[in-house]
Structure 1
């Protein structure tokens, strides 16, 4: 891609990336994060993961913009951009190979049944409540995040926010807040050891804040209240959205099907990409400023799905504890 190839070659590159990233990478990282600690540590693990992601993303965005400036709009600038990210991936891969002890983490933090990995595990994964709970949570979180991507353009178009301030505001919403909110929320979850309570305690206020944000009168006179509410709802949301993968740990999915379950819940959780961007684009083209009511309503729906799925998790945990109490040998 750094050679700035013809369009058809670029399409082939993206197709290959769909295999290396979409098919292989995401489910593998989900499995490996799960293996870094037991269920009581998953909030902190995922929070720190999001924090590091935010720091690196923010540093790269600011650094590359400062370094390249207007050159980002040129082939030479894009070539530099691709090469930088390619080098980062290479360094990350080497670092992972050197530092990650798969056998150690597998033996320490994840239950192994001793069963071989088979293709039929996909059918097994489809029958596991943990997969569907995580898929629902991920689906709710992902459509909410998709809708929240429109907060910044909404502020620009409806509240007369300047382009310079909008750039800073957008970076803060997307990367800055999660650097603090994600690890803090994860640590609180691990402290109280109750995922459902954590999600409900912050998910419901986020829903209320989104509804308030939707109906703040539009115009430059209300920019400050809109900015404050947008920051608050992003803080509450970023504190809990990374908890959507915890059911896999809490409900003790065995090592042999962690990758399968991860692949399945990511497939179902991210399936809104098939229709939601096109739907939002249609609203933007046909409904003008009123499209944002529909977009932020999607966020409300997503948050409700997230919260409701957490109650399903609570019910399954209750069943699991009852079985373990009846047969301590299997706990």
Structure 2
């Protein structure tokens, strides 16, 4: 049975309502185009701006969310692309109702998912990724009094630890896999990024008193019905810590399934794009973490470039490309240090 076709052909369909997708939609709507944003989540914002009604959001998030909404932009949450039968044709599941969508261009802003590395006990209830822990917390999980160990690599553990501490959790330890020298070098690199440095200092201030160690990793999680202890190795010695939750961080993996369905080239887990964020498939652009993990600031500027390029804007301000390249270099630094 064929899916019914939406009444009008759209100028642009954006898949993903995180920072990159919202920025792409905002840019395209700004030049007067008809835009539809699709996202599987119940509300826009992506993982980083996941929120409940009434939550306080960063200014940049609130600004984009206020601009990317009806009537300026059509937004369909709880929707996902299930097929792409031809150029400019998408079959979309709108919450159980299939419909064919015709569009002049597509911007993929599908983000990234957590990389989970297995270890003994990793399937026990209570063992989650740091991003998963963040999502549970934003969804309203009560954590007051819960003992939580955070172990892994990269900057994500810090805001999660700060949020958990704020909600009354007992964060037993933050264990960074990178060694102290790599962490110190990364910290020094933030001197040239005052906004990022200020944010890092806020997270550090919010987590003062929480034990922090470097050069260690999870050996195993212990428990019967759920995790009760985390066994950690630091400096050649193992320590066993009682906990109710063990949150691990092993980085992010770009989500490229839809890109591959559309025939886009993927290399080293990333969607391949050119300077204007165009993929190797005509009429398809990509932006944000699906093209390589570099943070929400990179995602926003890439989304803006992709949205303008997809709408045929030839003279895109050079400042956008310079900012994009600067944020990308920061993403590469993150990958090197962690």
Question: Scaled by the length of structure 2, what TM-score is found?
Answer: 0.25
Structure (1/2) with the larger strand percentage: 2
